[in-house]
A and B are shown apart, each in its own frame.
Chain A
């Protein structure tokens, strides 16, 4: 059980997917202008990650032992269909959220964080529950980064920023400073 907690917290803080592995940067830089949307996209991310992790475990255990060269293709197909499913569900359950997320919902398919999760989980040889903890930590980490970024951007919206700095350059420098702050967590699990 302790192991699961360790996986969860180290993925959430120390090895944060967005800020130290650079996974899922497109939504991080693209959808992070509003706090509300960021939170919801984060939730969708966690959900897709949990399903993907379970599916990747199934594939790894029962299928891919025989055809390892199909790993990448089968992972990506599983992710694409999961995202399609989540998209249909959200459209039905909450049309507002569907509109707010816009093009970034289908783009979760090409979100490296999801595929990265499946691949890292494979290379670390995690079992089912470890995979779940990893997915929760990873998704939580992505959400945390998104929400922090959105919060900062909402605060800076009314600031007087030089013209050439406005937009992506500014976001990247904020991200750099955030990432530096997260390095502070590095000593948290010194024994591992």
Chain B
């Protein structure tokens, strides 16, 4: 395989996570953190980045050891690998940004059971070389972060009239409180998904 073909393929692996196979809008994985922490843009960003780091670490490690891990215990092994990275991130966030860590609370440890990470380990990293797995994780992680951020921005702007805690509309704005409460999460994602479906249909 020539150099050019392979770099084109790398690009494709990286890009598909961003739009074509976006983890949230298209394959619908990792819903729980998506809804629970996206009431402000900052929380969404923190959750997205943490997931990205865990995904990168676990995908690389799973791919490195893919020939050593016995088939029967592979899921358990993946989970232990993921849990290790999540523990590291948990302590890191607690030390670096205690405010955000407090706000996210139990949802940082819950990254362990984010189906996106286990799904990528099982479906991609276990079958592909390290470089490709890293790119796949990067694309998926960024796609996840972007989706989370877009939901977070919509909910924060409508629900508290601010963006990254900077007030946007001044005093005259009556906040749309339902958007930062649980139902707002479901509704925002539902309507965003409608938009994505519509765009996809137009293209096809």
Query: Which residues in B have some Cβ–Cβ distance to A below 8 Å?
Result: 28, 31-32, 34-36, 75-76, 79-80, 83-84, 86-87, 90-91, 105-106, 109-110, 112-115, 118, 178, 181-187, 189-191, 193-194, 197-198, 201
Contacts of A25 in B (CB 8 A): 31-32, 35
Q: Tell me if A73 and B83 are in contact (CB < 8 A).
A: yes
Say whether, besides A20-B182, A164-B194, A168-B28, A80 and B76 are in contact (CB < 8 Å): yes
Across the interface, name the chain A residue whose C-beta is closest to B36.
A22
Q: Contacts of B28 on A, CB cut-off 8 Å?
A: 29, 168
Q: What separation, in Å, do the CA atoms of A177 and B186 have in the docked complex? A: 8
CA distance A145 to B112 in the complex (A): 23
Interface membership of A156, Cβ < 8 A: no
Q: How far is the CA of A179 from the CA of B198 in the complex (A)?
A: 25
Min CB distance B53 to A, Å, is 16
Interface residues of A in 111-148 (CB under 8 A from B): 111-112, 114-116, 119-120, 123
Partner of B109, one of A24, A26, A114, A119: A119
Q: Are B76 and A176 in contact, with the CB atoms below 8 A?
A: no
Main secondary structure of the interface of A (DSSP, over half): helix
Are B113 and A73 touching (Cβ within 8 A)? no
**Chain A contacts to B: CB under 8 angstroms:** 19-26, 29, 69, 72-73, 76-77, 80, 106-107, 109-112, 114-116, 119-120, 123, 163-165, 168-173, 175-177, 179-180, 183
Residues of A within 8 A of B118 (CB): 110
| With A119-B106, A176-B183 as contacts: A76 and B36 at CB distance below 8 Å | no
* Set A69, A116, A176, A180: member contacting B87, Cβ < 8 A: A69
Which chain A residues lie closer than 8 Å to B193 at the CB level?
A: 168-169, 172
CB contacts (< 8 Å) of A116 on chain B: these are 106, 110
Closest residue of chain A to B178 (Cβ to Cβ) is A180
Q: A22 and B35: CB pair below 8 A?
A: yes
Q: How far is the CA of A180 from the CA of B184 in the complex (A)?
A: 9
Whether A119 contacts B110 by the Cβ 8 Å rule is: yes
Q: For the complex, what is the distance from the CA of A184 to the CA of B35, rounded to whole Å? A: 20
